[in-house]
Amino acid sequence: MKKIIKENLWKNILLIILLILLYFSIHNHLTSSNLVTDTSAASTILVATSIIAVIACFGNFAFTYEKVKRDKASHRYIAHLTTGLLMLIIGISLIFTAILIKFIMGSFIIVDATLLLLYIACVGYDFWDLLRE
């Protein structure tokens, strides 16, 4: 049991580092695009990003560690890969959402805090699902 918890912790640390690195790349790309001034296009991209986030959230919350054979490394790694990819997609979608909302309505700390809390809740759910057996 301790092994899978450590693996999950490392997965989430890696995801956070990856998302921080991706933030700067996504931010640079979006701020150099015409989306900064074209709020209509930014709104359209925001809708598409939201759909992607909803799909990833559905997959993430539908997944359960209860069905994973925890004594088999291959099963654990496939589970971590699956949840990791879904959480990465959620994180990237939240990054896009935060940046696009700034283009559309300006900086608003409550929106940023809400998006951060949403990602923290996803991480919390990931650990809760792992521990609930």
43-88 pLDDT, tens per residue? 999 999 999 999 999 999 999 888 888 889 899 999 999 999 999 9
Expressed as residue numbers, the domain containing 32 is 2-131
Count of domains for the chain: 1
| pTM, rounded to two decimals | 0.92
Q: Give residues with Cβ within 8 angstroms of 13, minimum separation 6.
A: none
Asked which of 9-13, 15-19, 22-26, 61-65 is least confident by mean pLDDT, the reply is 61-65
Which pairs count as long-range contacts for 46-55, CB under 8 Å and 24+ apart, including other chains?
46/96, 46/97, 46/100, 46/101, 46/104, 49/93, 49/96, 49/97, 49/100, 50/93, 50/97, 52/89, 52/93, 53/89, 53/90, 53/93, 53/94, 53/97
Q: How confident is the model at residue 117 (pLDDT cuts 50, 70, 90)?
A: very high
